[in-house]
Amino acid sequence: MVDLRTEIAGVRLRNPTMLASGFLDETGGSLVRVFRAGAGAVVTKSIGPEPREGYANPTVVELDAGLLNAVGLPNPGIEEFQQELKEALAGKAVIIGSVYGKDAAEYAKVASRMADAGVVAIEMNLSCPHAKGLGTEIAQSEEAVKEFTRAVKDAVDLPVFPKLSPNVADIASFALAAERGGADGIVAINTVKAMAISPELRMPILANRYGGLSGPAIRPIGVRAVYDIYEKVDIPVIGVGGVDSGIAALEYIMAGASAVQIGTALVGQGLGVFERVTKEMGSVLEDVGFKGVLEAVGVAHG
Amino acid sequence: MARMQVVLLLEIAKESHHTTTFRFRADFGGSAGQFVMVWIPHHDELPMALSYLGPVKGITVHAYGDATKAFLDFRPGDRIGVRGPYGNTFKLEGEKVLAVAGGTGMASVIAAIEAFAQQGAEVTTAVGARTAEELLFVDRASASGEVHVSTDDGTRGFHGFVPALAAKLMEKHKFDQILTCGPERMMKLVVDEARTRGVKVQASLERYMKCGIGICDACAFDDKLVCVDGPVFTGAQLASSRDFGTYRRSKDGRRVAL
């Protein structure tokens, strides 16, 4: 039996699959349901200090190779979200709280409330590619990534994982900036800035025009990003982008990730995807001679 | 994934002063109870039940918000986007069916009335509206079975709410199954009545949606999603629900009173 347990900055998980932020994670009921379906941990929707409705529809475009979205960070705000967290924690889910804000102080405030509620770690959404003034600019500045990470680290006694944008020339230097800000791990990648147009209607489909692409189309970009980050920093990496099978997850693991997140694959596979991916990782690892998933982390670097 | 199709509007039929049916051709299937996400360009994208199945599909829209009001200005030859069909379906269970529809809820129920009658079921319909002018698809339902009408103002048929009419019908006849769609508090009364009598019941729910495909959590209903686990829920599911008839989610995800 291959040991599929993993550990990221002291957070121990029963398996290396996590629910990616933005999917089925705005309500306590959904978080528990996904955890019970087999995810090692569940990351919440990105929560800010105040309620936010997000963008007008269309917010989602289904594509052959993935999903384009500009949902626009809808969330009930951290105070209202406490009740959802309480329900999720009562259901024994392992929860990572995703936070955003318009400045470092807001990130720190929301993270601190998340910590009070009992999450095991904080993910910082530094890189939502389509929400104006909420992450995009931060994600484009190494100095801001470092400063924001530091502010959150100072506010909580939990591991902090900044989630980085691939929409930069050199993602590894941003990972380094986060590490210097005190990050305990790196989540990579957020969605890739993208657009879809209706030729019949001569206009972009998303109400926000621009969105973020996820799913299999971006997996090679994510795997490359994790590979680059692993070379540059000493903290663990969580890989995300197009994981829809055990093989895909192992690409990330061997590039250097200690765990993976899954989101878009839920559309085609439903909640069974976490168990399926975990099981397949086990059989492939056994097949190629590994005793545990942690043994395989980063082996592609030779 | 289900790619959005941009389709031409064919016929447009005014059903009442606030409700209009738009027909279009789309090369995807669709069963009774299912919905499509409808992109009204420049305005919004909204979930809408298929009121006509088959190759020339239909949606029946109550103009109550900015986008649905703007939709009224669309003409045959204009284009909209549609993707789907999404969600589960009404399921025929037994021989004698009572369909209970309130207001625009008839848009979803009519497809089941026609489909179940075609499958050989004996379908009775109780359809209600605020006033006679707003009654929907009475002729279509009559072609599939017996129809009873109620209006809140008494301008046609039973003077009162449709759940009271449905209760009277349930008192008089033994049905194998009840289907319902309409305002949620109306459906709650119908579901409670059916459950009290031990009759199977299915209700089609409506919630605000963004994705329609089970990822965004906007349509969370208890620990389920209206878009993929519904929109049709059984009486057994609804009996243990905390949200049914009581709560919905606002656009920012807060649980608010219906």
CB contact under 8 A, A62 and B217: no
Average pLDDT over residues B17-24: 97
Q: Is the peptide bond before A189 cis (omega within 30 degrees of 0)?
A: yes
CB contact under 8 A, B216 and A23: yes
pTM of this structure: 0.94
Q: CB pairs below 8 Å between A and B: how many? A: 128
For residue A128, indicate whether it is catalytic: yes
Nearest CA among B7, B42, B11 for reference residue B25: B7
Mean pLDDT for B206-221 is: 94
Across the interface, whether the CB atoms of A58 and B251 are under 8 A apart is answered no
Rounding to the nearest 10 degrees, give the CA dihedral for residues B59, B61, B66, B70. 70
Q: Pairing relation of β-strands B5-14 and B79-86?
A: antiparallel
Distance separating alpha carbons of residues B39 and B62, to the nearest angstrom: 15
Chain B residue nearest residue A79, CA to CA: B254
Phi first, then psi, for residue B103 (nearest 5°) are: 60, -135
| pLDDT band at residue A138 under the 50/70/90 scheme | confident
Residues 224-243 on B with a CB inside 8 Å of A are 224-225, 228
- Summarised one tens digit per residue, pLDDT across range A81-100 is 999 999 999 999 999 999 99
The DSSP annotation for A276-287 comes to HHHHHHHHHHHH
pLDDT digits (tens, 9 = 90+) for A217-275: 999 999 999 999 999 999 999 999 999 999 999 999 999 999 999 999 999 999 999 99
Q: Which CA distances in Å does A228 have to A100, A170, A187, B141, B228?
A: 25, 9, 13, 64, 38
Contacts of B213 in chain A (CB under 8 A): 60, 62, 267
Q: How far, rounded to the nearest angstrom, does the alpha carbon of residue A137 sit from its chain's CA centroid?
A: 18
Higher pLDDT, residue B116 or A134: B116
Q: What is the pLDDT of residue A131?
A: 53
Catalytic residue selected from A24, A122, A124, A128:
A128
CA distance B27 to chain A (A): 16
* A182 near B CB under 8 A: no
Q: At what angle do helices A142-155 and A104-117 cross, to 10 degrees?
A: 40
Residue B244 touches partner A, C-beta closer than 8 Å: no
Tens digit of each residue's pLDDT (9 = 90 or more) over A12-46: 999 999 999 999 999 999 999 999 999 999 999 99
- CA B221 to chain CA centroid, Å, is 17
Rounded CA-CA distance A92/B249 in Å is 24
Residues of A in contact with B240 (CB under 8 A): none
Considering chain A, what is the average pLDDT of its residues? 95
Interface confidence, given as ipTM, is 0.92
**B47: closest CA of chain A, how far (Å):** 11
Q: Does residue A130 belong to the interface with chain B, where contact is any CB pair within 8 Å?
A: no
Dist CA B138 CA B118 (whole Å): 17
The predicted structure's pLDDT at residue A139: 78
Contact assignment for B81 to A198 by CB distance below 8 Å: yes
Within 8 A of A61 by CB-CB distance, chain B residues are 4
Using CB atoms, pick whichever of A27, A51, A71 lies closest to residue B210: A71
Measuring CA to CA, how many Å separate B32 from each of B21, B23, B108, B146, B240?
Answer: 16, 16, 7, 19, 25
